[in-house]
Amino acid sequence: MSDKQSTHFGYREVDNDAKADLVANVFHSVASRYDLMNDLMSGGIHRIWKRFAIELSGVRKGNAVLDIAGGTGDLAARFSRIVGDQGRVVLADINDSMLRVGRDKLIDTAHQGNIEFVQADAQDLPFPDDSFDCVTIAFGLRNVTDKDRALRSMLRVLKPGGRLLVLEFSKPESELLGRAYDGYSFRVLPLMGRLVVGDSDSYQYLAESIRMHPDQETLKQMMEDAGFARVEYHNMTGGIVALHRGVKA
């Protein structure tokens, strides 16, 4: 390993400046079938997880919402309907392939009127201070190289009283569920990726990145350390997924 700072790409240790390109290659590979794989992997339950996030967001008509790592636009489409013509939704993603798929999808479904598309790095968001009523990041934080820096960036662009919601895979609450989930993640997901996308390596990375992501309490502490107040989390599907919510004081 070089003298450069290192981080994890799945179970591998890599230089910090290499991770972004490695993650980018994963999402370039899977972008065209991302929605299909989400439905197959979760049995459609990811839609319930996202609906719960939207309910806890407190977003109302006229609000400004930033959806980071917004990918193919599931959350952005729903927020677009909520905020209405006087509101604003920014779908941001660091990966141009994912952003292109999301843009095409939302244009096809006529939700594009109040949605902007921005290629952006969560660690250095290109927006002024105090810009958004709500920031969301769903299944994206584990791919960020410097999570602490990204959380501080999200805090900066939120208005006082604004909310951050982090929806992410987390640690199952029971050991039995954890063992079953490991078996599914490391055996079924790569096979599914090979059959559906022609890429098993990306889904091996997915399984590994979930295991390397901070657990519920650790992420809660990270959000508090970044400056968020009233941080709480809600486990879903036995803790396989957790929704963290924090407020900018």
For the chain, what is the mean pLDDT?
Answer: 87
Rounded average pLDDT over 58-73: 94
For the whole model, what pTM was predicted? 0.85
Of residues 36 and 234, which shows the higher confidence score?
234
Q: Is 151 exposed, middle or buried (0-12, 13-18, 19+ CB in 10 A)?
A: buried
The answer to whether the annotation marks 122 as part of a ligand binding site is: yes
- What residues does each domain of the chain span? 27-173+205-248
Q: Is 104 part of any known ligand binding site?
A: no
pLDDT at res. 35: 65
- Give the pLDDT score at 173: 94
Which is more confident, 105 or 77?
A: 77
Tens-place pLDDT, residues 131-177: 999 999 999 999 898 999 999 999 999 999 999 999 999 999 999 99
Residue-level pLDDT at 2: 43
The topology (CATH level 3) of 27-173+205-248 is Rossmann fold (3.40.50)
CB contact burial 152-181 (16+ within 10 A = b; e otherwise): ebbbbbbeeebbbbbbbbbbbeeeeeeeeb
Taking residues 192-202, what's their average pLDDT? 77
Residue 72 is labelled as binding a ligand: yes
Q: What is the pLDDT of residue 9?
A: 58
Segment 205-230 mean pLDDT: 93
146 is in an annotated binding site: no
